[in-house]
């Protein structure tokens, strides 16, 4: 076995943390008693993501790192520091590892699959790469599983927004393409179009069509915050929903190959504050947003 197959996930970390993400992760809106568990999950997910995207490791070494994370999570070994905190947190909270294991399915796909034939394939990827994140947070808060469909729509939309924002970088740096091949083909293009400094009119139309599909997912998730019992979690979800809508609108107007689509700090704050205020007012109005199913526990 080579040295690359023996390293721990901590040795393959990119240095990116939860504050570097496009969307809030265990922000101050979340109750302090839940944040450590969510951050343990994020730490596990970040380690797996960094392993799958490592620029120099061979696929076999990446898969070995993911196996090591899984084995540590499940108690088959004790030597991966990126998985141990989550294992401890799950035991303390009486939670299943299923949502973390689902993530590993997606990260193994990242190692072995670099192209997606159509939207259905991309959504199947999101089923493992995106939906488990929100489902885990819901489970930590003791929310009803009936919230999962709206969660899955929002998390999938967030994932696809990230894919579209980074479509050029992903292709150039790791030869991974999440833009469905049939969408490119319908525009008369192949994946090489993503390597340009500026999107052609045909590619712009292709990416805009995908952003419009993402808008439909955001329509499905629009009621999500109102379905959540925990006020503070609902507040965070309302902020994420509005940030996602704004980013997706940006993808309809700008070229992600040559223009910045990400929010600046002031824009992020402005959108978040307006969303939070709107949610709080709707929650206070019994004739506004959908009422939660159980008493608030925050």
CATH number of this structure's domain 113-298, picked from the four choices 1.10.10.10, 1.10.600.10, 1.10.4160.10, 3.40.50.10330: 1.10.600.10
The burial class, CB within 10 Å (0-12 / 13-18 / 19+), for 33 is: exposed
Q: Which of 113, 130, 276 is nearest to 180 (CA)?
A: 113
Q: Distances from the Cα of 261 to the Cαs of 47, 174, 248, in angstroms?
A: 26, 21, 9
CB atoms within 10 A of CB 88: 13
The pLDDT of residue 59 is 95
Distance separating alpha carbons of residues 48 and 71, to the nearest angstrom: 13
The pLDDT of residue 46 is 95
What does the pLDDT look like over 72-107, one tens digit per residue?
Answer: 999 999 989 999 999 999 999 999 999 999 999 999
Q: For each successive 10 residues of the chain (298 residues), what is the average pLDDT?
A: 52 50 66 94 96 93 96 94 96 97 98 97 98 97 97 98 96 96 98 96 98 98 95 93 94 94 74 79 67 39
**CB contact at 8 A, 155 and 131:** yes
DSSP tag of 195: G
**CB contact at 8 A, 287 and 223:** no
Q: Which residues contact 147 (CB under 8 A, 6 or more apart)?
A: 138, 224, 227, 228
Distance separating alpha carbons of residues 137 and 39, to the nearest angstrom: 10
Distance separating alpha carbons of residues 215 and 159, to the nearest angstrom: 13
Domain boundaries, the chain: 1-19+28-96, 113-298
CB atoms within 10 A of CB 237: 28
CB atoms within 10 A of CB 254: 16
Residue with tokens 């070494």: 61
**CB contact at 8 A, 146 and 227:** yes
The pLDDT of residue 247 is 94
DSSP tag of 145: G
pTM: 0.86
């Amino acid at each position: 076995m080579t040295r690359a197959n023996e390293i721990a996930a901590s040795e393959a970390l990119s240095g990116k943390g939860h504050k570097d993400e496009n969307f809030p992760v265990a922000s101050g809106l979340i109750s302090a008693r839940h944040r450590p568990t969510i951050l343990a999950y994020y730490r596990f997910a970040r380690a797996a993501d960094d392993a799958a995207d490592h620029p120099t490791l061979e696929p076999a070494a990446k898969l070995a790192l993911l196996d090591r994370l899984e084995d540590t999570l499940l108690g088959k070994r004790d030597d991966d520091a990126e998985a141990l905190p989550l294992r401890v947190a799950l035991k303390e909270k009486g939670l299943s590892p299923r949502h973390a294991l689902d993530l590993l399915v997606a990260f193994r796909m990242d190692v072995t699959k670099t192209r997606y034939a159509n939207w259905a394939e991309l959504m199947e990827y999101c089923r493992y790469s995106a939906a488990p994140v929100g489902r885990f947070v819901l489970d930590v808060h003791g929310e009803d599983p009936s919230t999962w469909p709206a969660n899955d729509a929002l998390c999938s939309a967030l994932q696809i927004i990230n894919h579209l924002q980074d479509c050029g970088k992903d292709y150039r740096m790791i030869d991974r393409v999440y833009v469905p091949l049939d969408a490119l083909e319908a525009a008369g293009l192949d994946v090489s179009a993503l390597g340009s400094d500026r999107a052609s009119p045909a590619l712009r139309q292709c990416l805009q069509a995908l952003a419009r599909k993402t808008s439909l997912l955001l329509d499905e998730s629009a009621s999500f915050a109102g379905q959540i019992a925990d006020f503070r979690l609902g507040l965070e979800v309302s902020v994420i929903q509005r940030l996602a809508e704004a980013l997706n609108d940006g993808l309809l107007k700008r070229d992600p190959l040559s223009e910045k689509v990400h929010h600046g700090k002031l824009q992020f704050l402005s959108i978040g504050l307006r969303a939070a205020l709107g949610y709080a007012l709707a929650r206070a109005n019994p004739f506004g947003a959908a009422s939660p199913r159980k008493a608030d526990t925050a």
